[in-house]
A and B are shown apart, each in its own frame.
Chain A
């Protein structure tokens, strides 16, 4: 398989914010349909990386190709799932979900049928006409996910989407996301702080390091699918978590100390 058949090719990607080098020489390749998680300490540039792929930031240097083409700005081939749900409070679930097609001028009965199916897929059947303030945090994140899926993206970009949820809801959402991914087999880039979340969901985990932000190591997660939640207690799973934690432990300690000093 040549580089051109990859979903995403990144070579020498560098991003500077003034004097600060947020990303330095990132090289990664992602296959079609792969589920990739990105973990790393605070300040390792993982969110910046995701935003560059999403077209919300521009790279300072380097090559970044999606389906063999350079990225210029956001596009409907990518669906972004944000850390906070960012639902428009004046729109109900359906019209929040349909914002992407609406902006592209693609509303209609067919889209509505797809939207309703998507909402069923994410477990929101019966809540189509609720407003965001009437929904729990977990349900709002389901809308957030459905909204990204509604543009029928080939690449799903997820920025710590479950970090604001309580532990139980988070685990449920992980299994749901895993199920949804297995149905659609979209390529996913998933940024998270939770190592177990990354291992549970992913085919591969990109471990980032900081100062400057770069890819430290890529770990293949060789666990069978579908993965029940109790796979998290198996020795193989725990070993992956341990290994990734060891890779970032030192960085995390330094970053915690720095944050403490202000």
Chain B
């Protein structure tokens, strides 16, 4: 009873209505533009055609090798980049020499359009998964590093002073104050990394891959198979929404003190 009412309220609450209304209107306009204004599948596939292409990709089982390949590239790259980024951020926040040594690299590489180097990575590391993992790491690691460092440095000095007055050691200050205080920033960096990581996977695959959603997209583009192309894009969009949404849920669980 309670779950039903909440989900019904959830659906009918004003924000949700606007969100769904806007998405459905967009899809309807798209369908109309594709079928009536353009009228050719070679240029623009209608949402219903994309849906059918998705159905076929799933029915033939062809989709799974693409999803599986991209998922591996994303997960391996993203997790390594997060671990590395958090570690680098810690180092930069806690040691002046580390900060001085790392700062120019982080600042320079963060602003570099790393995706443009993807062909180079493929040349170096081959057409397989590894080259894509490297691209993902290169894209994700810097926002995570910068946010971790910013979060750790932005800790309220009064809180540090307070635990110091109660006899905290530097180690206790770090684990009991700096780290929890920086968590919201670190999580914001990890969340930013999701989008950048997905882009990294796809762009790297565009430049050469045996399988993957990016490969599906580029292959479909070459053969003017618009429904398949949009099907690949749709899967990526849904993955982005799901991952970010799941992440926000995780943040609310782990950082309940934030309003």
Contact = CB atoms under 8 A, between A and B. Distances in A.
A99 B163 contact: yes
The secondary-structure label for the interface of chain A is: loop
Given A84-B158, A133-B257, A90 B164 contact: no
Interface residues of B, number: 21
B107 interface: no
Contacts, number: 57
A89 B166 CA distance: 17
A215 to B, nearest CB: 24
B167 A74 contact: yes
Interface stretch (A21-29, A36-44, A75-83, A177-185): A75-83
Contacts of B158: 82, 84, 86
Interface in B145-180: 156, 158-159, 161-169, 172, 176-177, 180
B222 interface: no
B198 to A, nearest CB: 31
B167 A75 contact: yes
B159 A86 contact: yes
B143 to A, nearest CB: 23
Contacts of B15: none
A100 B164 contact: no
Nearest to B158: A86
B234 to A, nearest CB: 39
B168 A103 contact: yes
Given A82-B158, A131-B257, A133-B257, A56 B164 contact: yes
A147 B162 CA distance: 10
A80 B167 contact: no
Interface in A134-149: 147
B257 A103 contact: no
A133 B166 contact: no
B255 interface: yes
A89 B259 CA distance: 11
Interface of A: 54-56, 74-76, 80, 82, 84, 86, 88-90, 99-100, 102-104, 131-133, 147, 151
Given A56-B164, A88-B180, 14 more contacts: A54-B165, A75-B167, A82-B158, A82-B161, A84-B158, A88-B163, A88-B176, A90-B256, A99-B176, A100-B167, A103-B163, A103-B169, A103-B176, A132-B257
